[in-house]
Structure 1
Amino acid sequence: MTQATSTVSDKKMTIPARVAAWMRSAELEAANLAADAAARDYNLMSRDDLRRATKMQLRQEIGLISNSAFADAGSGNQIFSVSLGLAPRQKELGMRTATRSGVDLPIHLGRLCEAPLLTSEQEVMLFQRMNFLLHHAAVHRRLLNPNRPSRVRLMLIDRLVSLANWHRDRIVEANLRLVFSIVKKFVNANNPFDELLSDGIVALMRAVEKFDYDRGFRFSTYATQVVRRNSYRTVVMNQQERQKVVGGLQDMNLDLSDEDRGSSISEGRWHELRSRLASMLEDLDRREKLIIRARFSLGSHRKVHTLQSLADRLGISKERVRQIERRAMDKLRSMAGEVQLAELEV
């Protein structure tokens, strides 16, 4: 396949020859270089590999906020004709965020916040470009045919998605300080900052994908609600999980003091208790583990399952499920007495 190559500084930017003119615009140079770094070489693939790659591409969903103007002729040239004018990263912004966070942050986390805030015009342009690129990726994706795989089209879809992700990342990094400011309010002994921050960044990325820039609101207003709601949900779920594990230990007749049963249980003790319980569960057989986890809503089970629902799932009687549960509980009580959980008190 013929390729056109242009040089930016000391790096080479390689763009498929048969693309729209706007994809070669100077405004996309940095994004195209990032796309080059992540590009797959479809030229090295056999026809069978191309078929598999095509089927995999068809199984993936391209989510975007559509706009009727994206299909207009010349819309790409118009959208990419105006410069974004993004300001360079500023080290002092990251240092200031780390100082104000109120927690002892690693240096690399402070570096996440070095991107300046976006103006309202820059914000609209980034969202418009991101969704425009995804729109065209979706258009080409609909034209894929596993029986007649096209290297050119697969490369083009990958590039369009990579270019869209580059614009998404600019939005995310400009709003990371907002995530820091929100999640630090939820930090306590049982909800560490790094866990809340990780969840908050994921929530921010989902907010970017779902935000409709055409409604005239600033993204920060929408993102604040999404990240705050997500942080609250994380704290509640952590508390519920702690209560389930402590409750399960109590059901095994373990001697936990009133102080330990409350939310004041230390983080170290909590992790040890959860680790010991997980270890004991591994000593049960497959059916016993399934029934105990389902009955006490442990692990991936988000609700307590009834004896009848487990009987239907396992193809046995309700009374048999009850017998297996009782046998498993007896085993756990025996193991709990052996591991001397009193040693875990802190």
Structure 2
Amino acid sequence: MTALERRYRRLLLAYPADYRRDRGDEIVGTYLDLADGGRRWPSPSDAADLVRGGLRQRLRAAVATDLIPGVRLAGLLALATATFLAGFWMVVEQQQPVGAGVPGFGPFVSAGVVLWLVWLLAALLVLVAPGRPTHVTITVAMLATTAVPALSLAAGLPRPPLLVLAPQVALGVLALAVDRHLPLTARFLPIVTAASGGAFASRAGGSLYWGSYRWTSEQLLPATGAVLLVVTVLLAVGLAIRQDTRGGWAVLALLTPSGLLSVHILASAVDGLGGAPRPTYPTLVGTALVVGLLGPTVLPAAVALRRRAGILSAGPRPTKPCPTCGTHR
């Protein structure tokens, strides 16, 4: 067995065991026939194709093939939410209070202005260039959002608080699942929400201290998380009436982003039991960790329950008649 074949067979672990047993040799043989001479590693596209195929087969075995369309729906809602927040924070960045004695990033509040520009670019690209350009831009925006705390610390620059950055990363991870073939009306959604976020911040900026990320985030983020969850639940109910179960999976997939948007309120409820006026930093971190594990825990559990329900509803496997006596074994 060559090194390339061995590595292809390792990728086959993405498939269920019975599927590998029945068709593993055929799949590996096909990829080996198409591989360039001298290649030692599977190409990234081959690896991604095998993993995607294995995931589909596992979901088919679990009677949960509707999970992927549901996650794609959640990805669109997550991207729309992320671009709404980017539009809002972009206006906040331009309204730095004069004479406040706080450091800035040129004429902006912080280095976060760079992040929000990339997120707004993703909103534009999903309209005019859906597919790979959109996914690459979302990836860049998500990675930049993750890296900005360390880079800002190294450069001595102000940045948005982690309370703002953490849910943006979670929304970005889910936004990577957005469908490459969205209808035109759906492709307009992120750019519309981005414009709505900017308009909302501009309208209210004259009466509130929008230059403070901390003050604004404690009010805006929980409200955004609540709206996201309510909209998704209503959408799930509407789809369920039409015997479409995508919405239910979308609700489960969005539990973590919605929870991270509401971390301040959830942590306040925990510390409020002890009489603390504001949530402490350890409580905020602990709440974020618990919420961060919620979606990755609930989704596999729901798939396992669906598989069990499918096995029970299918009943025992049909037996084959004996070719000699005709009785079933």
Instruction: Say which structure is richer in helix.
Output: 2
Q: Which of structures 1 and 2 has the bigger CA Rg?
A: 1
TM-score, normalised with respect to structure 2: 0.28
